[in-house]
Amino acid sequence: MSSELSDCVRRTLNRYFRDLDGQAPHAIYDMVIRSIEKPMLEVVMKQAGGNQTVAAEMLGINRNTLRRKLGDHDLL
């Protein structure tokens, strides 16, 4: 599964660089994290039945960190 995710990210980033059309890349790290974090949080929260403690355990992060990230993405 992680290989599939890696391949998807790799393909998407290669497409991003192809489509730059001469423009300089900027803040790639933040762009990638923003792009994947919200859908990941949405799916994990759904799988956890909305339970933030369970979701935080699934993600391997602290519940307070999860709440901050949910707030950052307007998912509270």
How confident is the model over 38-66, as pLDDT tens digits? 999 999 999 999 999 999 999 999 999 99
**What is the per-residue pLDDT for 59?**
98
Residue 1 clears pLDDT 70, i.e. is over it: no
Burial tier of 55 (Cβ tally within 10 Å: 0-12, 13-18, 19+): buried
Residues whose CB falls within 8 Å of the CB of residue 55, separated by 6 or more in sequence, listed in order: 41, 44, 45, 47, 48, 66
Q: Which pLDDT score is estimated for 40? A: 97
In this model, does residue 2 exceed pLDDT 90? no
Hey, what domains does the chain have and what are their CATH numbers? 2-72 (1.10.10.60)
